[in-house]
Amino acid sequence: MNRVQQARVIFMFITINLLCVNITFAEPNSTFSKGREYYEKRGDIVWEVPTANKKLIALTFDDGPDPIRTPKILELLKQYEAKATFFVVGNRAEKLPDIVKRAQQEGHEIGNHSYSHPTFRQASIQGLRSELDRTQEIIYKATGHKPTLYRPPGGSYNELAVNICKENELLMILWSWDQDTKDWTSPGVGKIVNKVLKNVHNGDIILMHDYVYKSSQTVEALAKILPELKRRGYSFVTVSELLKNKDSNSDKHMKVTN
């Protein structure tokens, strides 16, 4: 085999290995990733919950806890008798266990949102397991309970992530596609409010953030969203409570975008 042939063999070997890496860590919209319908039918990932005529919605807050925003959100939730689910980041929960404990004691649900909020392309299999395990232990230490729900950073998922969730007896939770408020971009209080109010449906899972650098307008928007949705007859429940009210016979249109 001459040098040219050797070079071609080496090039092909590198190309095949790179393809394997991309398949393993495929992002949600990658051609190597299975679509929403596949995971939804298997019950591996939840985007929203058909509740028929029950006017229930789940407010979710990511990336906290935060020493400023989270307590303000908790006060608003208490004022409007609303329950929510907080997907906490382990290294922040580790520093603020009292806030996590308070949320749990006030009837809210605590979910796992990884330890350091990594991207899939930066994490090994063992790294992903460690991210989940460390956060589970931190939340357990703060509340006495281990989460049963997991939300991947950035909403990224693939078969690897789904399988690791199953190993840890965690259900992956995303959000209704038309209920991503994008509050972390500070789009304006009015835009956050309108995003929720104009698109709300029974069984929606609404995405917001309670971490200060990602939610400068969230508290003000929530103060407008809560009373209006309550006036419309909606009740605010945790994601697990929403799942308990799932109507298996519902023909609710699923907003699939994949």
What is the CB neighbour count within 10 angstroms for residue 209? 23
Q: Are 128 and 258 in contact (CB under 8 A)?
A: no
CA distance 22 to 213: 31
- Residue entry with tokens 């699939």: 256
Active-site annotation holder among 62, 63, 183, 210: 62
What is the CB neighbour count within 10 angstroms for residue 231? 8
DSSP 93-125: HTT-HHHHHHHHHTT-EEEE--SS---GGG--H
User: Catalytic annotation on 178?
Assistant: no
> What is the sign, positive or negative, of the torsion defined by CA atoms of 232, 182, 46, 85?
negative
CA distance 114 to 39: 21
Q: For 186, what's the count of Cα atoms within 13 Å in the CB-facing half-sphere?
A: 7
Tell which residue, 189, 191, 195, has the closest CA to residue 223.
Answer: 189
User: Catalytic annotation on 209?
Assistant: yes
Which phi and psi angles does 84 have, rounded to 5°? Answer: -145, 175
Active-site annotation holder among 63, 113, 209, 210: 209
CA distance 258 to 242: 24
CA 245 to chain CA centroid, Å, is 19
- Residues with a catalytic annotation lie at 62, 209
